[in-house]
Amino acid sequence: MTRVLVTGGGGFLGSHLVERLEGDGHDVFSVRRADYDLTLSESAARLFDDAAPELVFHLAAEVGGIGANRSNPGRYWFANLAMGLNILEQARLHETAKLVISGTVCSYPKFAPVPFSETTLWDGYPEETNAPYGVAKKAVLVGGQAYREQYGLNAVFLLPTNLYGPRDNFDLETSHVIPALIRKMVEAEEVVVLWGDGSPTREFLYVEDCVEGFVLAAERYDGAEPANLGASREISIRELAEVVADVAGYEGEIVWDASKPGGQPRRSVDGSRAHELFGFEARTGLRDGIERTVSWYRSNRVAGVSS
């Protein structure tokens, strides 16, 4: 049994990871923002004193969809950078055996060759609407590598592609594309209006598959280089909307508002490094994952947990 700290343990990915770790028999200390403000160094220090972890998963983040990123660029840059540097410093001071950090596919250059290879991470500036968030996360990668070199901290950095699944954020002001589509199409009657023209592409990773990737990395990977976690399928937002509509049983009109931004033109990752280094491979097909997510949303939205 390992003493494990999960920052962001009450969040979407974190809650699934906590369930997995507890199921595997670990002693898990799960952190919610209400208990510890990780943007403050003294709060992060108190957390590590309280948790005394042997293994840390740093998942806590301030993040949202295109609209939320456009509204909060300064906050997203500051909060994600501050949390990352405080976690790194406390892991060093407390001589934590291993730290697994969640990065973001938003760190990749706007026009990186598809599928994104980790070797191209520094070949350009990220897509503008989420650049502050992506740049902050990329700085945390550099910090982890620097702490490894100078202090011997075993910090591992993972780059999951777009996540989705049960317990996702369905608040239309801050949600990502799949939960937003699901909510709109489950609740709409005649017309659903979507941002952009539907041409951008994305790759989506089911949350339980992502959890498996983090667990495998914690168990098997001790390298300095970042590793993508993906599902090896690129799909346009237009096609994705059609899949969600079909699963949700939505038969109304879909209107594309091309005056709104659509985000990065293409986004899909090369997952070969994660497969070779720690045996990760996504197992949940996109339609199957969307069916599970729609089913969860229908069962939980009345209780208010969907927003």
Q: Give the integer Cα–Cα distance in Å for 141 and 108.
A: 13
Catalytic residue (choose from 36, 76, 108, 133): 133
Instruction: List, in sequence order, every residue forming a beta bridge with 116; answer none if it has no partner.
Output: 269
Nearest to 230 by CA among 277, 287, 161: 161
Report whether 155 contacts 99 (CB < 8 A): yes
- E strands in the chain: 3-7, 27-31, 55-58, 98-102, 155-160, 162-164, 191-195, 201-202, 204-206, 227-229, 235-236, 253-257
Nearest to 294 by CA among 243, 230, 232: 243
Coil, helix or strand for 246?
helix
**Is 133 known to be catalytic?**
yes
Which positions are catalytic? 133
